[in-house]
A = this chain, B = another copy of it.
Amino acid sequence: MHQNKSNAVDVAAEVGGGTNDFAPAPIGAGMGLRGVERWLARRMLSYLHDPPIRIVLWNGEEVACSRESPVARVVMRDRGALYRLISDPDFQFGELYSSGRLTIEGDLMAFLDATYRSTSANGTYRGYLSDWFHRPRLNTARRARENVHQHYDIGNDFYRLWLDEAMVYTCAYFPTRDATLEAAQQAKLEHVCRKLRLTPGERVVEAGCGWGSLAMYMAEHHGVKVKAYNISHQQIIFARERAAAKGLADRVEFIEDDYRNITGTYDAFVSVGMLEHVGPKDYPTLGRVIDRCLTDSGRGLIHSIGRNRPLRMNAWIATRIFPGGYTPAISEMTRILEPYSLSVLDVENLRLHYALTLEHWLARFERSTDKVRQMFDERFVRMWRLYLAGSLMAFATGWMQLFQITFARPLNNDLPLTRGHLYRTGK
């Protein structure tokens, strides 16, 4: 299949060009190599559909499958690393990379690009062995709190190092490719508000509000009253302080509680970047919450990472980065709305915007690795580098999508005929 070169990827390769790997553990020189190990390394490459990469074993020997010149080399620094990788590749790649038992010689971005493209172009989903080791975690209210704590409560100071000033930790919206991250995040907030067609005095509920940027933007720029729910303690504290400092505390209420406990009725329901944490077993619950809280003239918007078809999360991401996470296909997302005949008005795929967003995040992260290492340790730096770079490449190669779904009650005819209002310049 023709390899469709992307602009986003080209830019990404430049930005990510500084992520050449290093070698924290010594090569196990002198350790013998068995014939079966060479064969296993080759199996590993064919499992990835033979991308142009090579595997370097602990004695320095190189294994190749593709005849193309390699864009990167994967160095297995000890025998155990190879056996671990083979036993559970989706999970162990991240583990071994984080600990430095597996390193990348050459450009990490080029390596990720090659493997994602190869899988994206050839991949039919095969029930990976790792699926059985890593069953999705259930998101009970208590478990959800633990899961969210693990990712979002690791310190606002850490996120401040590489997010935009407004601390928006979801896909931005780039009106043009060269917009700054700050401008693109503000444009995203405005884009969401326009899709919801907010008018002053309306009541809005937000499920999963992060550090509160959207809630405050809606109140400040569209004159609405907002109740914003979040179960991350650190984020809620931060959001309340910001709202007070901005004089918005009377119009934005931050509630430290689960989306399942939303009460009241609202003119708009909005959720940006929470669905990834809900998990498909709780989609009916989310649907019930939306139906319960939306007025007859209400509108809603769900913004979430998604897939082109139903697929399990990568096991490492679902364990180390987003425990309990799941990124749905559109057919799964719309099943949240179908039982209540909520009418889908608009779906927009912002995939390339997430690739651009991640380029900015990764570049800022790389400029702050000394500080991150001081806050945490080298393993943490490698883990987050892989997560950010891997996500960038997943969006750039069409492996992941970003869907914004706008919806309303079926009998609501107070709808604009065209979507032109989203593209007016100025306010």
Which residue numbers of A lie inside 8 Å of B, CB to CB? 1-9, 117, 120-121, 123, 174-177, 296-297, 308-310, 329-332, 334-335, 337-339, 341-349, 351-353, 396-399, 401, 403, 409-415, 417-420, 422-423
Contacts and interface: CB of A to CB of B under 8 A. Distances in A.
A172 to B, nearest CB: 11
11 contacts: A4-B414, A5-B413, A121-B411, A175-B417, A331-B334, A343-B349, A343-B398, A346-B347, A346-B349, A352-B413, A398-B411
A53 B414 CA distance: 26
B120 A411 contact: yes
A347 B330 CA distance: 10
A24 to B, nearest CB: 34
A398 to B, nearest CB: 3
Contact of A341 (B2, B117, B308, B347): B308
Contacts of A175: 417-418
Contacts of A335: 331
Nearest to A343: B308
B413 A9 contact: yes
A401 B22 CA distance: 55
How many copies of this chain?
2
A394 to B, nearest CB: 11
Closest 7 interchain pairs by CB? Answer: A6-B413, A398-B410, A347-B347, A309-B338, A331-B331, A308-B341, A420-B423
Nearest to A356: B417
A2 B343 contact: no
Given A174-B417, A310-B338, A344-B403, 9 more contacts: A1-B411, A4-B409, A4-B412, A4-B414, A6-B414, A308-B337, A331-B331, A343-B351, A398-B410
Contact of A2 (B9, B296, B342, B419): B296
A409 to B, nearest CB: 7
A128 B332 CA distance: 26
A417 B353 contact: yes
A397 B417 CA distance: 15
Contacts of A7: 413-414
B341 A334 contact: no
Contacts of A417: 174-177, 352-353
Contact of A8 (B4, B296, B413): B413
A346 to B, nearest CB: 6
A65 to B, nearest CB: 21
A349 B341 contact: no
B352 A415 contact: yes
A8 B417 CA distance: 11
Contacts of A1: 296, 411
Given A4-B296, A396-B413, A397-B411, A349 B345 contact: yes
